[in-house]
Amino acid sequence: MFPSKVAARQYLLGARRARPHAGDLLASATSQQAVLEARRIALYVSMGPEPQTGALIDWMLATGREVLLPILYADNDLGWGVAPGAADLVPGRRGMSEPPVDLGTDAIATADLVICPAVAVARDGVRLGRGGGSYDRALARVIRGTPIWAAVYDSEVVEALPVDDHDQRVHAALTPNRLILLRRSVDD
């Protein structure tokens, strides 16, 4: 167990940066029934050594799915917009690529599936993000019963992580190799 979220983030992000290359989520995601059945998926545009989402977004758009991408607000909350295609994204805060039209913070509640970024995820569904609270706020708006997956590498699925009351748990870890179902609390 990590002594704090800060220590966990520091260690895990250092290991991620040391990876020889970033893995792609396309094959592992498109082999999942939930992806094949979803009509509207909330996703994100990967950056740097994160598990790569570009090919997955392209596949979703090419197969007629609607992709919601986050728009980072000044207060670190997230709005959502429909992906028009990678070439039509606009520069956003902190180097993010965002859709040009904002549907607001509650648009995530219309998704059939949510795939969010994470630094790590614990076997009990605790997700460790980058520390701004953006995704914890957004995931709190997801309709109960909607699958929520955290995109990580296999080595970032750990036994336990520090957790706070506001932390939102996820149902599964999507890695470039597979989908790992997680144990969640009884109240889910």
Q: Give me the amino acid identity at 42.
A: A
How far is 83 from 35, CA to CA, in rounded Å? 17
Does 79 appear as a known binding residue?
A: no
Residue 45 annotated as binding site: yes
127: annotated binding-site residue?
yes
Residue 23 marked in a binding site? no
The answer to whether 129 is annotated as binding is yes
Q: Do 66 and 81 meet the contact criterion of CB atoms below 8 Å apart?
A: no
Question: Is 128 annotated as ligand-binding?
Answer: yes
Phi, psi (rounded to 5 degrees) for 187:
-80, 5
Q: Is 39 annotated as a binding residue?
A: no
Rounded CA separation 132/110 (Å): 23
For residues 130-164, one letter each, b for 16 or more C-beta atoms within 10 angstroms of the residue's C-beta and e for the rest, the string is eeebbbebbbebbeeebbbbbbbbeebbbeebbee
In the annotated binding site, the residues are 45, 50, 127-135
Cite the annotated binding site for substrate by residue number: 45, 50
Q: Which residues fall in the annotated binding site for ATP?
A: 127-135
